[in-house]
Structure 1
């Protein structure tokens, strides 16, 4: 649709008419939280998990959870645009005030924005995407568990990856791998699925959470533990998980082949189980 319907502060309206104040704290300070849901065949994947993460992020920054049904609004946008596979973006900022000041007033009313965008239908038979990645130092703040609007370090790293002809930048702190700029990072070694523990150094990825559960259901050993760049380079498989990335196999890291440059069997199997 050229001018799709979106939701802003209680109103459904065309995207071209959706306006927010230049004094909105999301615009001035990045003072807000966001979530992205993936709809597959008209149904949201792991909606309850996304809502739980949104509540966590809002609570951590002191923004009240909105008194609206975000999922119902999202479903209505999907229906209005007649979408099947789509991504739905939720953004809640602390709101707009009369003057720019670091400390917000306690009665500031949050700004709520929701939009739905078409996504190419998932070709399950084709299997997971094969992608290349680079490694970069993780320059983000120390509360990566909060899904904040403050994405400048992520954007800069993603731009470097694109300049290198890669889909993602895998981040590390002093050699310890954390995650991708917009994805969770998992490796396979000797049949075991390994991923960084869910703490303040990473975002608690919803796809990551579900891949862990699926792996355990199918008797794949799972270990939430830190590992180094060297460990990753020596892994049998490296994969990315994300709401819109879904499950992707990393075939090269810093131009070095992983699994002889092929998507690994456990990555392929997890992709199939994810949509079972």
Structure 2
């Protein structure tokens, strides 16, 4: 495997992390996961734009210009002969003596590497189960930071209960999943939490808002309650790696009689069409 480290593509075997890297010690950094379709990084511009936004929000400078970074990512994909799968990209504040505060002259550290392809076709087809849990995360969920401990704790809890995802509830309102955005459908209208500091504005989420508009489907970005979640006609979750996944049961209660809903199916197909269209016309 070839890995991108601070602008250089090297073998994984030579990559080392300093024990005083602030990402290692504090989770002081940001990241992105990008899907690869037929060798093309889908929504690369959007992912890189969000990476730089997250870095800015935590007061961190990325040493590379965004266009340069995009070129390096495309080179990395070619070097690894990637046709499908994912790409993980992480930037930490850098290496410095361990104190909570930091000096402004620290140089950020960047690393990117391929993720194996994860087959999701059966999951997207049959639907998944979910549980609900309290959302006890910090209040800057809009920053895609390395600090994911609570997400991990709750994701593991859902895994141990045989569920695909845990849907998080804050003050009686649904925010998002541990690693996904949540949508419900009621009487033909799609609802999802607005892009505030309480959720990560997923790239798939953003792309779907465009898809809804193109297809004439009404979507309201407004909070909905746990009760509305449980009484929804259809529920689905979205993420870069999962795309659009129907939820057919929550906390043991069936949604749409335990089968993926018809509008969710249409949304899946419309998103797939968008991926094919945009990747086939992409210039590498």
- Is 1:90 the counterpart of 2:97 in the alignment? no
- The CA deviation at 1:16 is 2.3
CA contact (8 A) 1:85 1:120 kept: no
Aligned equivalent of 1:114: 112
CA contact (8 A) 2:124 2:246 kept: no
Aligned equivalent of 1:240: 237
Q: Separation in 1 of the partners of 2:60 and 2:151?
A: 23
Q: State how 1:41-120 maps to structure 2 within 5 Å.
A: 41-68=38-65, 69-97=68-96, 99-120=97-118
CA RMSD of aligned residues (A): 1.5
CA contact (8 A) 1:36 1:90 kept: yes
- The CA deviation at 1:14 is 1.7
Gaps of 5+ in 2: 274-284
Q: State how 1:160-239 maps to structure 2 within 5 Å.
A: 160-239=157-236
- The CA deviation at 1:215 is 0.9
- The CA deviation at 1:53 is 1.1
- The CA deviation at 1:15 is 1.5
- The CA deviation at 1:123 is 5.0
Aligned equivalent of 2:276: none
Q: Separation in 2 of the partners of 1:202 and 1:25?
A: 24
The 1:257–1:237 alpha-carbon spacing in structure 2 relative to 1, beyond 3 Å, is same
Aligned equivalent of 1:141: 138
CA contact (8 A) 1:144 1:202 kept: yes
Q: Separation in 2 of the partners of 1:235 and 1:162?
A: 23
The number of equivalent residue pairs is 271
Q: Separation in 2 of the partners of 1:129 and 1:16?
A: 39
The 1:104–1:224 alpha-carbon spacing in structure 2 relative to 1, beyond 3 Å, is same
Gaps of 5+ in 1: none
Q: TM-score, normalised by structure 2?
A: 0.92
Return 110-119 or 196-205, whichever deviates more.
110-119
Aligned equivalent of 1:269: 266
- The CA deviation at 1:260 is 0.5
Q: State how 1:7-18 maps to structure 2 within 5 Å.
A: 7-18=4-15
- The CA deviation at 1:95 is 0.1
CA contact (8 A) 1:8 1:112 kept: yes
- The CA deviation at 1:18 is 0.8
CA contact (8 A) 1:139 1:153 kept: yes
Return 249-258 or 45-54, whichever deviates more.
45-54
Return 204-213 or 9-18, whichever deviates more.
9-18
Q: TM-score, normalised by structure 1?
A: 0.94
Instruction: Write the deviation string for residues 106-140 of structure 1: whole angstroms up to 9, x where unpaired.
Output: 1000010000122146759x954511110000111
